[in-house]
């Protein structure tokens, strides 16, 4: 930043998703002594992805806790701690490993408030990388947005940019309900512009509100997590051909902001959903069903189109992996198909 009083302060700076998450954790640990972080390698090693870099040195053993490799065990400890009044942030090294703890997430965390008639709240965040990384094959590559989005009692968020990551993590930690935060490992090192407002300690993004990343008039593109970037790239390509895409970053999977999608479809009359997960019973399938059942259906000039991951366990070979994940060309193709051009 320039020190001269005449020059305006720099309004935006480049921050990686990793640093945005680190900032959010640091600020919330400082703000509320009930918040603590636990998971594999989060303390002395600074986190498997360096999200928790420096936090153990700053806050010590009680606030940043290394656990054994037992997801069911440490997720259970975290849920119990939340029921007893603390606010745990439980990191899974990848959400594929949350399957070891899915009983704790669904049966203990998600259902307790309802089953206790509201007398037990479970303010907990389950976070970590979700979906495909690169070259880690089938057991480490699936997207859990549809899995956890299916379950009442949970809130599910899926950030794309650094601003999303910081604002949603802070909102999740402050929320009195269990929140599943699905990050993308491939975005951790990606820098995004962050405004001064987004870098303030009180910046939060409300859970359940989508963001229109680009205004457009011809077709609505809806995505979450990394595919939001692909949609913006596809929109740039299509713009040169005279097609203006409206790009919606869902941000939250549950509760889903279907109103923003509906308003956009009413304007553009076309819908394409994009996700990295499998097609069957996916996030895109839910969006299409909700549009079908709601007032925006009458405004569609063509069937909605889904762009999804391939309906296979993720292959290991790079060329097969690339063909199993939605690419920019797949989005461009889907848009042209729905616009009949």
Q: What is the pLDDT of residues 260-275, one digit of tens each?
A: 999 999 999 999 999 9
Which residues are known to be catalytic?
Answer: 71, 140
Per-residue model confidence (pLDDT) at position 9? 54
Q: How buried is residue 319: exposed, middle or buried, by Cβ count under 10 Å (0-12/13-18/19+)?
A: exposed
C-alpha–C-alpha distance, residues 285 and 288, integer Å: 5
CB 157 within 8 A of CB 168: yes
What is the DSSP code string of 2-67? Answer: ---TTSPPP-EEEEEHHHHHHHHHHHHHHH-TTEEEEETTSSTT--TTSTTTTHHHHH-TTTEEE-
- Give SS3 for 147: helix
- Which strands make up the sheet holding 245-249, listed edge to edge? 211-214, 245-249, 219-223, 271-274, 305-307
Tokens of 196: 């001064």
Per-residue model confidence (pLDDT) at position 12? 82
Which secondary structure element, helix H or strand E, spans residue 214, and what is its range?
Answer: strand 211-214
What are the domain boundaries of the chain? 14-199, 211-339
CB 221 within 8 A of CB 335: yes
- Which strands make up the sheet holding 155-157, listed edge to edge? 64-66, 35-39, 87-91, 125-129, 179-183, 155-157, 252-254
**The CATH number of domain 14-199, selected from 3.60.15.10, 3.40.50.970, 3.20.20.140, 3.40.50.300:** 3.40.50.970
Tokens of 195: 């405004």
* Reported CATH class of domain 211-339: alpha beta
Per-residue model confidence (pLDDT) at position 10? 56
Among candidate residues 152, 172, 146, 148, the one with its CA nearest the CA of residue 90: 172
For the chain, the distance separating the N- and C-terminal CA atoms, rounded to the nearest angstrom, is 48
Distances (CA, A) of 151 to 107, 145, 157, 315: 10, 10, 13, 28
- Give SS3 for 213: strand
Tens place of pLDDT per residue across the chain (341 aa): 444 445 455 578 999 999 999 999 999 999 999 999 999 999 999 999 999 999 999 999 999 999 999 999 999 999 999 999 999 999 999 999 999 999 999 999 999 999 999 999 999 999 999 999 999 999 999 999 999 999 999 999 999 999 999 999 999 999 999 999 999 999 999 999 999 999 999 999 999 999 999 999 999 999 999 999 999 999 999 999 999 999 999 999 999 999 999 999 999 999 999 999 999 999 999 999 999 999 999 999 999 999 999 999 999 999 999 999 999 999 999 999 999 99
Which residue has 């951790």 as its token pair?
188
Distances (CA, A) of 225 to 122, 130, 204, 277: 25, 9, 18, 11
CB 66 within 8 A of CB 40: yes
Distances (CA, A) of 9 to 172, 195, 201, 214, 299: 30, 11, 18, 26, 45
The reply to whether 14-199 and 211-339 are identical in fold is yes
CB 305 within 8 A of CB 337: yes
Question: What does pTM read for this prediction?
Answer: 0.94
Per-residue model confidence (pLDDT) at position 11? 72
- Give SS3 for 159: coil
């Amino acid at each position: 930043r320039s020190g001269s009083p005449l020059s305006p302060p720099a309004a935006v700076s480049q921050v990686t998703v990793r640093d945005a998450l680190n900032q959010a954790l640091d600020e919330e640990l400082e703000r509320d002594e009930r918040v603590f972080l636990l998971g594999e390698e989060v303390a002395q090693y600074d986190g498997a992805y360096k999200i928790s870099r420096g936090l153990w040195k700053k806050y010590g053993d009680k606030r940043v806790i290394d656990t054994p490799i037992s997801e069911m065990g440490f997720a259970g400890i975290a849920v119990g701690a939340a029921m007893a009044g603390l606010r745990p942030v439980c990191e899974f090294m990848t959400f594929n490993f949350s399957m070891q703890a899915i009983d704790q997430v669904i049966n203990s965390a998600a259902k307790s408030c309802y089953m206790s008639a509201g007398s037990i709240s479970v303010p907990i965040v389950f976070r970590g990388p979700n979906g495909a990384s690169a070259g880690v094959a089938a057991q480490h590559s699936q997207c859990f947005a549809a899995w956890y989005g299916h379950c009442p009692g949970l809130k599910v968020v899926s950030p794309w940019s650094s601003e999303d990551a910081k604002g949603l993590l802070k909102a999740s930690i402050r929320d009195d309900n269990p929140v599943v935060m699905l990050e993308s490992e491939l975005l951790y090192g990606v820098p995004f512009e962050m405004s001064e407002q987004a870098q303030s300690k009180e910046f939060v993004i409300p859970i359940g509100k989508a963001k229109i990343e680009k205004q457009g008039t011809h077709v609505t593109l809806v995505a979450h997590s990394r595919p939001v970037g692909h949609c913006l790239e596809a929109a740039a390509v299509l713009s040169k051909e005279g097609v203006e895409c409206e790009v919606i970053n869902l941000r939250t999977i549950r509760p889903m902001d279907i109103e923003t999608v509906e308003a956009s479809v009413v304007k553009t009359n076309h819908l394409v959903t994009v996700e990295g997960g499998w097609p069957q019973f996916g996030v895109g399938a839910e969006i299409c069903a909700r549009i079908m059942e709601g007032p925006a259906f009458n405004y569609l000039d063509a069937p909605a189109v889904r762009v999804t991951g391939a309906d296979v366990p993720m292959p290991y070979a790079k060329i097969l992996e690339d063909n199993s994940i939605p690419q920019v060309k797949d989005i461009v193709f889907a848009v042209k198909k729905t616009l009949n051009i």
